[in-house]
Amino acid sequence: MTTTTGPHPTRRLILQGAASVALLGLGNLPFAAAPALAAANDKYPEEAFKLKNEADAIKALYGRTAEPSDKIKLDAPEIAENGGVVPISVTVTLDKVTSISFFVAENPNALAASYRIPEGTLPAIANRLKMAKTTNVTAIVEADGKLYSATKEVKVTVGGCGG
């Protein structure tokens, strides 16, 4: 049998490989500390998702403001017939991208989705978002510790709030 790091190996456990293997070897010693740390590292930014205003949400998520960049290519339809499903994609040509987030300014809560980009993952994402009405969509990109943004307006003919 090969040594495994339990049913849900995490980066942290693997980093602490020697320690965890030793602990596993000893049987059911509690090692709640390692998973707790990993969870804190990958924490869901609950507060940022609750904020209504785009600027507040950006600040809550990243703690600073972004500057516009032409190295972010934000693809969104000019007119969305159904605000419930708007395809949005972004491709970034900056180096060392660590995070990409999408904000929909006119939605009840501006932050729509936030993606963590580990090393080796390409800074290009496609997803589908809801939009309440005609609005600006902003992609915020964190690269090499700095914050960049790109914005595009989407005209929505039927809102995505089902109202």
Helix (H, G, I), strand (E, B) or coil at 67: strand
Residue 47: left if φ>0, alpha if ψ -120 to 50, beta else—which one? alpha
Q: How far is the CB of 80 from other proteins (least distance, A)?
A: 11
* Cα distances (angstroms) measured from residue 7 to each of 10, 13, 108: 10, 11, 39
89 binds other proteins (CB under 8 A): yes
158 binds other proteins (CB under 8 A): no
Looking at 20-28, 67-75, 124-132, 142-150, which segment touches other proteins (CB under 8 A)? 124-132
**121 binding other proteins? (CB under 8 A):** yes
Contacting residue, 74, 76, 112, 150, with other proteins by CB under 8 A? 112
Task: List the interface residues with other proteins, window 29-58 (CB under 8 A).
Answer: 42, 44-45, 49
- Distances in whole angstroms, Cα of residue 84 to Cα of each of 27, 93, 160, 163: 51, 29, 4, 11
Contact criterion met (CB below 8 Å) for 52 and 103: no
Q: Does 107 bind other proteins (CB under 8 A)?
A: yes
- The alpha carbons of the chain give a radius of gyration, in whole angstroms, of 20
Write out the two tokens for 118: 């580990």
Is 140 among the residues that bind other proteins (CB under 8 A)? no
Which residues here bind other proteins, judged by CB under 8 A? 9, 11, 14, 42, 44-45, 49, 84-86, 89, 104, 107-109, 111-118, 120-122, 124-131, 160-163
